[in-house]
Amino acid sequence: MTRAAEPLKLDRLDHFPDKLLGAEPCDILGVFPNPTLITLAGEAGPPLWVTTLLHGNETTSFYVLRALAAKYRDRPPPRNLSVFVGNVEATAAGVRYLPGQQDFNRIWADGHSPYHRLVHDVAEIARAECPFASIDIHNNSGTNPHYGCVNALRPADLNLAAMFAPLGVYYRNPATTQSIAFSSFCPAVTVECGRSGDEAGIARAIDFVERTMRLDRFPDAPPSADTVRLYHTLGSVLIDPECDFAFGGDTMPLNLRSDLERLNFTDLPADTPWANVHHPVSPLRVVDEHGNDLTAQFFRRDGDTIRLRCPATPAMVTQDRTVIRQDCLCYLMEPL
């Protein structure tokens, strides 16, 4: 039997372990040897669900967990609280997920692996509790403003996202994320808290969880457009895997503008330059969620310069070469 076929154990606790206080992400297996569901009785129901550490190298949620443990060690939270602690092995190793594992935020739909079965059980426990709301806490690998992702355009989901940050993203693909699964039975948001270790992101996430616990109900009306600016994804930008590239300079086959990462969530007009190329075929490609090639719709070649053909908003631009090669350079968005 392979390691991956063994059932995964879910530990259940009704308190935060004392060992969590003062622990760091690398210590986590001494605190949570397995994925764990902590259920805390609070002063009101239904519970707020908080999901942490689906990605082991995104540590903001660890510090939120630690802050909650310190605050609610000897007094009940203002609302029942259920906290799922996800990929503890990857957290200990400081990676998104380990070789042989699955991405813990791509397993919340039908599937037969032990990872799918584990989170299926967690989601069924949650569904039975009719949560007040669900918050899943993540980080970006590039420099981005803080934003919340929603999967339903209901007033409660939009108000939840607006409580976190004035910037939101609506998506339905990938369909295998925690927040898509939970949005089928409660208001749900994924919060992106900047880079791991960003102190402002940690503080904002802790404050957001606190304020959501203390909220009695969500407004019936959606938030106004000046409270939260909402985008949706048009496509992702890929770099030809054969093409060498750099940010800045002019000596590589593809030279992306050096300030591209700072343009995250900036609405760019048509004709904005993106890169200089010394390559017969343009090495930037845009594909939509179904794999359709949209390059000609978004980019045009102007001599050695690649420019936007139409207005677009880049998001999640990263300079991390591994992320660029495994995932993409960035997404192109437009306001909803």
Kindly identify the residues of this chain, within the stretch 198-257, that bind Zn ion according to CB under 5 A: none
Instruction: Provide the minimum distance between the beta carbon of 57 and Zn ion in the complex, in angstroms, as a whole number.
Output: 9
Instruction: Provide the minimum distance between the beta carbon of 280 and Zn ion in the complex, in angstroms, as a whole number.
Output: 37
Instruction: Provide the minimum distance between the beta carbon of 43 and Zn ion in the complex, in angstroms, as a whole number.
Output: 31
Stretch that binds Zn ion, among 57-65, 264-272, 278-286, 317-325 (CB under 5 A): 57-65
The verdict on 79 binding Zn ion (CB under 5 A) reads no
Kindly identify the residues of this chain, within the stretch 248-287, that bind Zn ion according to CB under 5 A: none
Instruction: Provide the minimum distance between the beta carbon of 178 and Zn ion in the complex, in angstroms, as a whole number.
Output: 10
Instruction: Provide the minimum distance between the beta carbon of 330 and Zn ion in the complex, in angstroms, as a whole number.
Output: 16
Residue nearest to Zn ion (CB): 138
Of the two residues 116 and 138, which places its CB atom closer to Zn ion in the complex? 138
Of the two residues 105 and 255, which places its CB atom closer to Zn ion in the complex? 105
Instruction: Provide the minimum distance between the beta carbon of 105 and Zn ion in the complex, in angstroms, as a whole number.
Output: 6
Kindly identify the residues of this chain, within the stretch 101-160, that bind Zn ion according to CB under 5 A: 138
Among 55, 66, 229, 285, binds Zn ion (CB under 5 A): 55
Q: How many residues interact with Zn ion (rule CB under 5 A)?
A: 3
Of the two residues 80 and 141, which places its CB atom closer to Zn ion in the complex? 141
Of the two residues 136 and 157, which places its CB atom closer to Zn ion in the complex? 136
Residue type, position 167, single letter? L
Stretch that binds Zn ion, among 40-48, 51-59, 144-152, 176-184 (CB under 5 A): 51-59
Residues that bind Zn ion (CB under 5 A): 55, 58, 138
